[in-house]
Amino acid sequence: MNQMNPERGPRISAETLHASSVALDGRAVLISGPSGSGKSDLALRLLDRGFTLVSDDQTIVKKDGARLLASAPPTIAGKLEIRGIGIIEMERIDNVPVGLIVELTSDIQRLPDDSRERPILGVRLPLISIDAMTASAPSKVALALDRMGLKF
């Protein structure tokens, strides 16, 4: 969604992504993948590692200068779906700069290209691919955010 209001100033660019998002130390991680790929499950395991929920299943990203900010749509803010348990209320944060995109897949390259990126709203973000169902998935996300994630 792009909005332009000449009386109020510059254009605001935003997009709703099919992605869960969590944050640590002021940087958000977008977790993308098809339905049933483990986005919410991985988000829950990252919450156990000290991350905070931004949004589950859908994330609004809006461009703020040269960075993207992640927030939850109002209808699902503070809610996390846990299969077998239901939807639970969680502590959450909004307007967190996005530092990394995680793409969920079972087709993982042993030694991927370190410079993989994905543009969103004209902002290029570092991208990694992981299998959400592996025990090491949360550790891989935390390491990638620390080593490859954008710094703010």
Q: At what angle do helices 137-147 and 39-48 cross, to 10 degrees?
A: 70
Q: Tell me which of 18, 49, 83, 124 is the catalytic residue.
A: 18
**Active-site residue flag, 147:** no
Contact assessment for residue 64 and residue 96, using Cβ atoms and an 8 Å cutoff: no
Q: Tell me which of 41, 56, 57, 92 is the catalytic residue.
A: 57
State the sign of the Cα–Cα–Cα–Cα dihedral 124, 125, 127, 133: negative
Let me know how long the chain is: 152
Q: Tell me which of 39, 45, 63, 140 is the catalytic residue.
A: 39
Q: In Å, how far are 7, 101, 140 from 128, measured between CA atoms?
A: 41, 7, 9
Residues 52, 25: Cα–Cα separation, whole Å: 9
**Active-site residue flag, 116:** no
**Active-site residue flag, 57:** yes
What 8-state DSSP symbol labels residue 91? -
Q: Tell me which of 8, 48, 107, 110 is the catalytic residue.
A: 110
**Active-site residue flag, 18:** yes
Residues with active-site annotation = 18, 39, 57, 110
